[in-house]
Structure 1
Amino acid sequence: MTTTIPRSPATLLLLVAAALATLLLAASPAAAHAELTGSTPGDGEVVATAPDQVSLTFSESVSLADDAVRVLDPRGERADTGQLVDEGGNTHSLTLRPDLADGTYTVAWQAVSADSHPVAGAFTFSIGAPSETTVEVSTDTGDQGAVGLLYDIARYASYTGFLLLAGSAAFALRCWPDATGRRAVQRVTLTGWTTLTAATIALLLLRTPYTGSGELADALDLDGLGDVIDTRIGTALVTRLLLLAAAGLFIAVLFGPYARLRATPEGDPGADLDEDTASRVKDLAFGLALGGTILAIGTAATWSMSEHAATGRQTGLAIPADILHLLAVAAWLGGLTTLLVLLRTEPALPREAVRRFSAVALTSVTVLAATGLYQSWRQVGLSWSALTGTDYGRLLLLKVALVATLLLAARISRRWTGLLTDDPEPAKETETAEDPAPEPLTDDPERARQLARQRTAVAEARRRQARDADPRRSGLRRSVLTETAIAAVLLAVTTALTATTPARTADSETPAAATEDTAGPEISGNAQGTLSIPFDTGGEWGQGTAEVDVTPARTGSNTVQIRLFDTEGLPTGAVEIRVAFTLPAEELGPLRHEPLHVGVGHWTVTDVQLPRPGEWEMALTIRTSDIDQVTETTTLRVE
């Protein structure tokens, strides 16, 4: 069976656009990358007297605007002073008004995670006794709807622009320096620079509605833009614009003085240069390579230092690895696009240029494999269930499949490269390539335009004939076209990955048989409903602390929140979490539950029915691998 590759670039672009639109429109909004891990007063807690302030603790550092946290009384009126204080340790407090009346109060909050994604939520507490409340708080974030879609499109465009800009420049300097004098390559580079610049400006303007109201009109809010610039992602975007300004000078030198120096006075690029000119070309090439490398690293760092790589564990290693990952992608995919353009416009593209790019691509793939495996381990862990049971894992599997398909297409291209010769086979003369009969001079404008169109058509026919004369080059062009189409979809999946919560854990699989160790360390915390339980499953990553909150710790329905932290105090994962409640005094239980995994290091189970008051035994089972498991038992007082 033979697959026909579309010859028309317009047809290919339509197919790729349809695939990307499907990915973007079918994608659900990104889950929160930070979460509220605790509060004072707690969710649903009833306090005897009005507190002076409300404190919120998050799983990672977050950015909060001045009005990001609000406390509303039962009638929906503000009950806080608006004075928000950063207490350190990912905790923020908001001062309350004095002499608050009894009743149920609602705390609504909205924050931006350290990896630049918005998150929002709400909870209630009561003073004296619960009461009815008329407050309705939306926990929707600005990354939904039209603003979220436009922001995702701008993110995709920014990645695409960087690949075209860095990849085409690297191709021109490393693989075929004479390409600097080709308009087709110049257009690729300028398209990349323009796309990245426009997308960066769009991201900067959309940041206010994306992290706030979700209203597109807020993109023109100058006060909001000032607040954005003060954030980590805002600083990164402004830095990127400054680097792009310097990149404009780099492009001007690359396609101006450097390209002219490589051309002989007769205008034959690539011909032998005199000794003085060759020395100047060498010095300028070195300067361009050094300056371009610095600009590329700096631009890649604006992503690495403001998104996933800048959060979590081992950021000192993750950020450089992510920069290398981005540079390798640009050298491979951006260079691939440049090669495709040259194969369509250059009948005599040197064999050596293709072979040099093949070596660059092989090196890039090696770097991608090493950095990709590290980032996958860092974000997913070693659990197979994390790959199949989370959005991040499934997108990662799709990315791996696309990379494998792309490598298969690249292997076919390498075979065609091995068959290339520097002299294309002579084209057979065809009737369409013959010169038209000389036309007499005419003063008729319409006739003149007709003759001009005819000459253009003949020139185009000759160009295509020369281009298609060598079947080996035609085969290489088709395989590179296939690679480029796959790469466009791969880039869309990668963009979706950056907007999805990293998956270091997975939902529970079928429990494996293991011996439960009921002897545990000392348990600390509030026996009424909040417990801090050290655990050690015996595995390499099996040490840490479980924070368990049972609310309201009274007879009837209760909610159990379980959060796991490693020895460094960072959220950590487990393959399986189980909890069981037993009341020995009345021989009730065990009442077993399997909590639902809702976030990184966070499980919850609702409607836990504890029918009698007394001293309940709570057994918490934590499994971090197929064989590493421990059960810690403590006492919970239920009223």
Structure 2
Amino acid sequence: MTDRRRVLAVLAGLLLGFFGTLLSAAPASAHAALVASDPGNGTIVPDAPNRVTLNFSESVQLVAGKIRVIAPDGSQADQGDPTVDGGQVTIPLRSGAGRGTYLVSYRVISADSHPVAGTITFSVGAASTPPTATEESVRVDPVVRSLIPVGKFLGYAGLVLLVGPVLVLALLWPQRLSRRGPGRLIWTGIGLVTGSTLLAIYLQAPYTLGTGLFDVRVGDLRDVLGSTFGAVMLVRLGVVIAAAFLLRPLLGGAGAESKLDLALLGVLGVAALATWPLTGHPTASPVAGVSVVIDAIHLAAMSVWLGGLVMLFGFLLPRANARELGAILPIWSRWAAASVGALIFAGVVQALIEVASLDGLINSTYGRLILVKVALAAIVIGVAAYSRKLVKQRSAEESPGPLRRIVSIELGITAVVLAVTAALVQISPPRTAEAAETAATSTTVTQTITSDKMAMQVDIFPAAVGNNSIHLYAYTLDNKPLPVVEWKATAALTSKGIEPIEIPLLRITDFHAIGDIALPVAGEWTFKFTARTSEIDQSTVTMTATVN
């Protein structure tokens, strides 16, 4: 088989993983979660606030023009530019926007470079028909969404064709063999890493803004390059270009490279590997420093192992003689064992950080993909163990044929593992999903109850056993604040034999009172509220609320 055909065979295996990426690509998910807001989503406040705050589960970056507050009449209620401090976004509001329901539309970038978009509503005085958000404020173009994991897979494939082959060529390659074939493979890896990086920079613009693939302006790309994501991508490009210059002596002929060049290549390799975790899940991890290092180790081990297999299958087994293989295979076997050990260690640590629970491992898409990846990796490890046994039991002359068949199996499976990895980085890990679910589950009970003379809004928080805060707001039947002279309230749970307990109330404004009560047991509690509005007028309303 010629060098050209060997290279094509290797690329065919990688294309298998490429199509696996296309088939497994899921919708791009935001990896930060909105955990709280003030005013809260769906709540009714008595007076218009002068700002809205959004709290996310991790630090975020603003996207120019993508945060809006729309007033009940459809006008813009925000004024000035929003600010961000870590995971908290503050949006200043203009005064005099009026009563009714407001809509907050947001789109920010999470710490792992994914857009986080959504809407919340709150009402001033009383609810009304909410305004609507524009589609581009919350969407991701489906073409952009599909291309992102493809670009990531090409980057991983480029690493495989670059790191492992360079290491083998520098330390294990027989001097008598031509370097032309491996050189083509390495230049292909450089091209894939460079191309995937440029594609990632371009795709980040429509991904961030929610626009179409070809709706990208020069200013949008400038904004991407000015972001943390863009800075990391530029570092990756610079490292790859520098490595390309240093690789020319190594690829030009045996013994032409210097020890200094090899040392510099090692430094550049470490720098390049670090750029992947710096734009992914690890930066948003609860232990970001540990996650970044672990992810870099994971990528390095994968690149050395799989890239070495490519060199073994494509060039060394068919071309090296028995004496050369007798020296090469035992060393490669130790390299492979060390890479497998590093992969297992890094994979376990990553899973513990990102998944955190057995339920997250089994009942989340991210967790199930981890299990698929583990199963595939276990098969590959078993095949690799058999190949090591084969190397030890047979002579170098007997090994090449059976080893090539075994290595081809390893390459096919690991190509699919790369596809699963590319899909994983586009899916929210369970720790983020749990944060979003917790935020979406509000324990505040909010009810509006009416009598023939008034409407009363009641907020009970957290509606759980123990201390609870109660807020009361009085309105006329046409939703205007109603002054209250005196407030009274009781809480009872007759099913458990608990008679009415008086709730001490404090009058805050003419129409707003607050109180606290310790609820001893869970159940369907009955609350009674009396509001006296004059010497002779008062209204009493009753509601039930579930206390957990």
**Normalization by structure 1: what TM-score?**
0.66
Shift of 1:12: 8.3
Q: Deviations for 1:457-504, whole angstroms, at most 9, x for unmatched residues?
A: xxxxxxxxxxxxxx6312111111111111100111111122222224
8 Å CA contact 1:380–1:505 kept in 2: the answer is no
Quickly say closer, same or farther: Cα 1:38–1:504, change in 2 above 3 A.
closer
Distance 1:245 1:387, change over 3 A: same
Question: SS in structure 2 opposite 1:119?
Answer: strand
2:265 aligned with 1:292: yes
In the other structure, the counterpart of 2:424 is: 497
Residue 28 of structure 1: how far off its partner (Å): 2.6
The residue that corresponds to 1:402 in the other structure is 376
Partner deviation per Cα, 1:254-276 (whole Å, 9 max, x = no partner)? 113xx2546xxxxxxxxxxxxxx
CA distance in 2, matches of 1:486, 1:561: 53
The separation in 1 between residues aligned to 2:271 and 2:379, in whole angstroms, is 31
Residue 236 (structure 1) aligns with: 232
Other-structure match for 1:552: 446
- More relative contact order, 1 or 2 (CA 8 Å, 6+ apart): 2
Equivalent position to 1:353, from 322, 328, 331: 328
Structure-2 residue corresponding to 1:31: 29
- Structure 2: which amino acid aligns with 1:392? Y
**1:24-423 alignment runs, 5 A limit:** 24-86=22-84, 88-138=85-135, 141=138, 143-176=140-173, 178=175, 181-219=178-216, 221-256=217-252, 259-261=253-255, 284=258, 286-343=259-316, 345-346=318-319, 348=321, 350-351=324-325, 352-381=327-356, 383-418=357-392, 421=395
Deviations 1:548-604 (A, max 9, x none): 541525579999999xxxxxxxxxxxxxxxxxxxx74343899xxxxxxxxxxxxxx
Alignment correspondent of 2:408: 481
User: Would the alpha carbon gap of residues 22 and 193 (structure 1) be closer, same or farther in structure 2, given more than 3 Å must change?
Assistant: closer
Distance 1:141 1:610, change over 3 A: farther
The match for 2:536 is none
Structure 1 residues 615 and 552, CA gap change in structure 2 (3 angstroms): closer
In 1, the alpha carbon distance for the partners of 2:459 and 2:378 equals 45
Pick closer, same or farther for the CA change 1:169–1:384 going to 2, 3 Å: same
Deviation per residue, 1:317-368 (Å, 9 max, x gap): 2222222221111111111111111146515372122222111111111111
Alignment of 1:404-443 (within 5 A): 404-418=378-392, 421=395, 424=397
Other-structure match for 1:437: none
On the 8 A contact 1:332/1:360 being kept in 2, the answer is: yes
**Pair 14,553 (structure 1): closer, same or farther in 2 beyond 3 Å:** farther
Q: Which moved more, 1:402-411 or 1:177-186?
A: 177-186
Q: State whether residues 525 and 544 of structure 2, in contact with CA within 8 Å, keep that contact through their aligned partners in structure 1.
A: no
Q: Tell me the distance in 2 between the aligned counterparts of 1:495 and 1:119.
A: 20
Contact kept in structure 1, 2:30 and 2:114, CA below 8 Å = yes
* In 2, Cα distance between equivalents of 1:400 and 1:202: 29
Question: Is the 1:154–1:199 Cα contact (8 Å) retained in structure 2?
Answer: yes
Distance in 1, Cα, partners of 2:459 & 2:12:
50
Q: Which residue of 1 aligns with 2:547?
A: 618
| Structure 2 SS opposite 1:218 | coil
Q: CA deviation at 1:17?
A: 4.0
Residue 475 of structure 2: aligned partner: none
One-letter code aligned to 1:240: R
- The RMSD of aligned alpha carbons is 3.5
Shift of 1:73: 2.2
129 and 558 in structure 1: CA distance in 2 versus 1, 3 angstrom threshold: closer
How far apart, in 1, do the equivalents of 2:361 and 2:381 lie? 22
TM-score (normalised: structure 2): 0.77
Q: Cα distance, 1:57 vs. partner? A: 1.1
CA 1:553–1:238 in 2, change beyond 3 Å: closer, same or farther? farther
Give the partner amino acid of 1:215: G
Amino acid of the structure 1 residue aligned with 2:338? T
Provide structure 1 residue ranges, at least 5 long, that are not aligned to the other structure: 1-6, 263-280, 425-470, 508-531, 533-544, 563-582, 591-607, 620-639
Cα 1:560/1:189, change in 2 over 3 Å: farther
Q: What secondary structure does 1:178 align onto?
A: coil
**1:30 to partner: Cα distance:** 3.5
- Alpha-carbon distance in 2 for matches of 1:144, 1:546: 25
Q: Which residue of 2 aligns with 1:523?
A: none
Q: Matched residue pairs, number? A: 467
- Taking structure 1 as reference, are residues 235 and 177 closer, same or farther at Cα in structure 2, changes over 3 Å only? farther
Cα separation, 2, equivalents of 1:492 and 1:179: 36
Cα displacement string for residues 397-447 of structure 1 (whole angstroms, at most 9, x for unaligned residues): 01110111111221232234335645x5xxxxxxxxxxxxxxxxxxxxxxx
CA distance in 2, matches of 1:358, 1:227: 47
Map Cα deviations across residues 61-111 of structure 1 (whole Å, 9 max, x no partner): 01111212111123433222241122x252111122221122211111011
Distance 1:8 1:584 in 2: 81
Preserved CA contact (<8 Å) 1:85 1:94: yes
On the 8 A contact 2:203/2:213 being kept in 1, the answer is yes
Closer/same/farther in 2, CA of residues 506 and 29 from structure 1, 3 Å limit: closer
Query: Offset of 1:314 from its aligned partner?
Result: 2.1
Match for residue 625 of structure 1? none
Contact 1:36/1:57, CA 8 A, preserved across alignment: yes
Deviation readout 1:17-61 (Å, 9 max, x if unpaired): 456435433443133211111112211222233221211111110
Q: Kindly state the Cα deviation for residue 13 of structure 1 after the two structures are TM-superposed.
A: 6.2
- Look up the equivalent residue of 2:290 and give its one-letter code: L
Alignment partners' CA distance in 1, 2:177 and 2:524? 73
Deviates more, 1:498-507 or 1:204-213: 498-507
The structure-2 alpha-carbon separation of the partners of 1:305 and 1:66, relative to structure 1 and needing over 3 Å to count, comes to: same
- Give the equivalent residue in structure 1 for 2:481: none
1:145 Cα deviation after fit: 0.8
Distance in structure 2 (CA, Å) of the matches to 1:548 and 1:589:
28
Question: Aligned partners of 1:172 and 1:561: how far apart in 2?
Answer: 66
8 Å CA contact retained: 1:106, 1:135: yes
TM-aligned CA deviation for residue 616 of structure 1: 5.4
Give the match's secondary structure for 2:493.
Answer: helix
